[in-house]
């Protein structure tokens, strides 16, 4: 039993040693992110950007409002090539009322000035209907289609009445204009990936994608096992 445990302990040790080293080094580096400016340094090599999917800067959603291009990449919302705010849910459309640009997500309206400055996020707590599916205009009034029906408001956007309308001009997705696409590509490629992100992803295994997380879990299990076998051997020796 003792020999088998020792053999298991050694085998585990050999397997996890290299990964323990990687974990230790990356863990130490992450503890000193600010000291080494790891969150300010960027990596821009092609294969790494490809790995992170940054070469192909394809927007998740694009809408044209007046002369502005609204786009969303992940949680980042852009007006033209300027990052303006974050939305963790998809942009579903946009309209212009008076001087406001209004973007709709499923649970809120995001308001912007004509210059693209973020004004406010209006959600259910201020009367905006929930479960929005699209936004449009009906004779200049904002209208949202939700799972519970159609709602209309005025430029204040805080009082909504439920009704049914024909002829609403719904917001529709567009293709990204090539000039804005070029600017956005420059934006992404210019910044690249922070060293901190890469080290963190190596540390937690996400550099290998979804399998990396499972791999890190497996490694964690190995570490627990090697600790237990080590403790067992130590106790056996003392007894």
Binding residues for another protein, per CB under 8 A?
20, 23-24, 27, 85-86, 88, 113, 117-127, 158, 203-204, 220, 223-224, 226-227, 230-231, 233-234, 237-238
Task: State which residue, 165 or 228, has the beta carbon closest to another protein.
Answer: 228
Task: State which residue, 165 or 225, has the beta carbon closest to another protein.
Answer: 225
Task: State which residue, 127 or 177, has the beta carbon closest to another protein.
Answer: 127
Residue 183 has which token pair? Answer: 């600017």
Closest distance between another protein and the C-beta of residue 16, in Å? Answer: 9
Closest distance between another protein and the C-beta of residue 118, in Å? Answer: 5
Closest distance between another protein and the C-beta of residue 234, in Å? Answer: 4
Backbone phi and psi for residue 128, each to the nearest 5 degrees, phi listed first? -70, 130
Task: State which residue, 88 or 210, has the beta carbon closest to another protein.
Answer: 88
Residue 228 has which token pair? Answer: 């237990």
Long-range CB pairs of 90-94 (<8 Å, 24+ gap) are 90/60, 90/61, 91/60, 91/61, 91/63, 92/61, 92/132, 92/133, 92/134, 92/135, 92/171, 93/63, 93/134, 93/135, 93/136, 93/170, 93/171, 93/172, 93/173, 94/63, 94/65, 94/70, 94/135, 94/171
Estimate to the nearest angstrom the gap between the alpha carbon of 194 and the chain centroid. Answer: 15
Residue 202 has which token pair? Answer: 């190596």
Task: State which residue, 175 or 235, has the beta carbon closest to another protein.
Answer: 235
Task: State which residue, 132 or 168, has the beta carbon closest to another protein.
Answer: 132
How many helices and strands in the chain, by DSSP H and E? 5, 15
d(CA 13, CA 215): 16
Closest distance between another protein and the C-beta of residue 28, in Å? Answer: 8
């Amino acid at each position: 039993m003792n020999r088998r445990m020792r053999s298991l302990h050694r085998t585990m040790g050999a397997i996890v040693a290299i990964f323990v080293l990687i974990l230790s080094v990356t863990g130490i580096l992450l503890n000193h992110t600010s000291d080494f400016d790891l969150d300010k340094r960027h990596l821009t090599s092609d294969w790494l950007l490809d790995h992170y999917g940054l070469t192909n800067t394809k927007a998740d959603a694009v809408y044209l409002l007046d002369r502005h291009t609204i786009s969303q990449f992940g949680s980042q919302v852009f007006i033209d090539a300027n990052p303006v705010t974050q939305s963790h849910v998809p942009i579903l459309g946009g309209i212009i009322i008076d001087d406001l640009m209004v973007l709709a997500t499923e649970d809120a309206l995001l308001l912007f000035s004509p210059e693209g400055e973020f004004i406010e996020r209006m959600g259910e707590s201020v009367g905006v209907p929930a479960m929005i599916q699209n936004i449009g205009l009906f004779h200049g009034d904002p209208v949202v289609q939700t799972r519970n029906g159609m709602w209309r408001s005025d430029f204040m956007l805080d009082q909504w009445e439920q009704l049914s309308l024909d002829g609403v001009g719904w917001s529709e997705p567009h293709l990204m204009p090539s000039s804005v696409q070029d600017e956005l590509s420059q934006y992404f490629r210019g910044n690249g990936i922070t060293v901190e992100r890469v080290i963190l992803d190596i540390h937690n295994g996400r550099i290998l994608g979804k399998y990396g997380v499972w791999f890190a879990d497996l490694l964690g299990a190995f570490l627990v096992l090697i600790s237990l076998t080590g403790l067992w051997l130590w106790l056996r020796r003392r007894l």
